[in-house]
Amino acid sequence: MKCVELKIKKVNIKAKLPEFKTLGSAGCDLCAILENDTIIHPFERKLIPTGLSIEIPIGYEAQIRPRSGLSLKHGITLVNAVGTIDSDYRGEILVPLINLSNESYTIKPYERICQMIINKIETPKIIIVNELNETLRNSGGFGSTGMV
């Protein structure tokens, strides 16, 4: 299996390189590159810098995902749930965090704040049609497949 190459540039000399913590890790951790502690108050949003920019090969994307420990223990997650970095973006990776808890949380410099996963993507050929194939669900929306 061929391994995809991900080029990484430090846009801040203090940036930490992404790190896969275990052999089986799907995502690598990205860290906050801050001069000082940053407090995120309940239901507040903050854009946290990582000090890194990346070059993703065409046909791939980087997904930025919340860290499960931060989410469960402190209510810290991503504003957009999962963020996508396109292969043509070259700016700094900035992470939009939100505090969904009732208590303030302090982000420390170099704290692991999210995970980055590289995925292969397909760009579909768009075809305009007058009809779509029917399914059992058809146009049934939210909750239409039953309750858990």
Name the residue ranges covered by the structural domains of the chain. Answer: 20-120
Among the listed residues 110, 119, 98, 118, the one whose alpha carbon sits nearest the alpha carbon of residue 33:
110
Are 61 and 119 in contact, with CB atoms under 8 Å apart? Answer: yes
In the prediction, which pLDDT does 2 show? Answer: 75
CA 30 to chain CA centroid, Å, is: 10
Q: How far is Cα 27 from Cα 42, in angstroms, rounded to an integer?
A: 27
Q: How far is Cα 60 from Cα 68, in angstroms, rounded to an integer?
A: 24
Burial of 31-40, coded b for 16+ CB within 10 Å and e otherwise, reads: bbbbeeebeb
CATH architecture of 20-120: Distorted Sandwich (2.70)
AA identity, residue 112: R
Q: How far is Cα 6 from Cα 60, in angstroms, rounded to an integer?
A: 10
| pTM to 2 decimal places | 0.86
Please say whether the dihedral angle defined by the alpha carbons of residues 72, 68, 62 and 19, taken in this order, is positive or negative.
positive
In the prediction, which pLDDT does 102 show? Answer: 97
SS3 for 10? Answer: strand
- State the 10-residue block means of pLDDT for the chain, 148 residues long: 88 95 92 98 98 97 96 96 94 98 98 96 94 83 64
